[in-house]
Structure formats: structure tokens, C-alpha cells
Amino acid sequence: MTGMIWKPDVTVAAVAERDGKFLLVEERASDRLVLNQPAGHLEDGETFLDAVVRETFEESGWRFRPDAIVGIYLWRPDATGRSFLRVAFSGALEACESPRPPDRAILRLRWLTRAQLADPVMRLRSPLVLRCVDDYVAGMRYPCSLISHLDPGAPASLAASG
């Protein structure tokens, strides 16, 4: 792989729980029906927080207010050669503003327990789905301020601090 530039797909995901059940979307991916958290790609010029709010609304119709980072994950499926860098957020669902998710790839919403998700019959989009739920259930929470978004014109530091 000499000379190749590594460019992971940077994604965000919302881990939203109510009464012991987690919000998931059923979607079509690579001709398969799969379950995933409301999730998607970080767009150019977008902050991570803006991206997870946007993706949650587009895929579920719910307004999401992120309050913590559950985890940061790097996953490389063997078959594709692609890498995915996911930042998962927990938070509150404030209002369902659209009974039909705006994203046409989403077939329906599902509310499932952790045990239901772990059932081998469930078709999870990736191992990240269950891992994010497990980390959430384990109490993993980091402040959203862990992620810094620097303005394009921010000057580079001339000296290392330490």
C-alpha cells in the first residue's frame, strides 16, 4: 500500500434510549435490510454536534440534543478495504417532528432492547451498533467539549506547549 492515502469515512451516530429501549432505523444497505443507530457522514464544514443532530432528524424525524460522547470507534471491515471512524453521542430526543423520516433509505424506526439487539437473528449494519449500545449501558460518557472545532482561520501554534 505504499503511496496510498488513507481516508477513513468519518461518521456520527446517536445513541438514544427510552425506557430501556434504543432508537434504531431499519435501512437498506448493499441490498440488505439492516439496523443501525441514526447515523451518517460528517459533511464538509459541519461540526460533529451539528452532524449528529442533522443525521438523527433526517433518518428518524426526531430532534436530538447530544449531551455526551459515548465513544470514538475505528472499524475496518475486511471485505471493503474502507475504514470508518465513528463518533457516537448520547442525548435526549426532544420532539418527533416528522412521522416519516425525510431520508427515503429508511424503511422504519425500531425501538429495541439491548438483549433484542444481541440476538443473532438481528441484522446489524456493523458491529459498531451493539458496541455503542454496550458502551452506553456501561456508563461511558465523555464531555462533548472533548472535540474541538477550530475555525479555518485559526493560527497554528508556533511552539509546543508542555
154 is a domain residue: no
73 is a domain residue: yes
What nine digits make up the cell of 127? Answer: 458491529
87 is a domain residue: yes
pLDDT digits (tens, 9 = 90+) for 104-158: 788 999 999 999 999 988 899 999 999 999 999 999 999 999 998 887 777 766 4
Dist CA 16 CA 79 (whole Å):
30
Higher-confidence residue of 79 and 130: namely 130
**pTM (two decimals):** 0.88
What nine digits make up the cell of 110? Answer: 425500531
Report the amino acid identity of residue 30. S
161 is a domain residue: no
pLDDT on residue 158? 44
41 is a domain residue: yes
Share the mean pLDDT of the chain: 89
97 is a domain residue: yes
90 is a domain residue: yes
DSSP string, 81-143: ---EEEEEEEEEEEEE--SS-S-TTEEEEEEE-HHHHHSTTS-BSSHHHHHHHHHHHTT--B-
Number of alpha carbons in the 13 Å side-chain half-sphere of residue 132: 33
H-helix or E-strand containing 52? helix 48-60
Mean pLDDT value across residues 61-71: 97
- When divided into structural domains, the chain yields a total of 1
Domain that holds residue 45: 9-142
94 is a domain residue: yes
With a CB cutoff of 8 Å and minimum separation 6, the contacts of 93 are 16, 18, 23, 56, 62, 63, 64, 65
pLDDT band at 160 (very low <50, low <70, confident <90, very high): very low
CATH of the domain at 51: 3.90.79.10
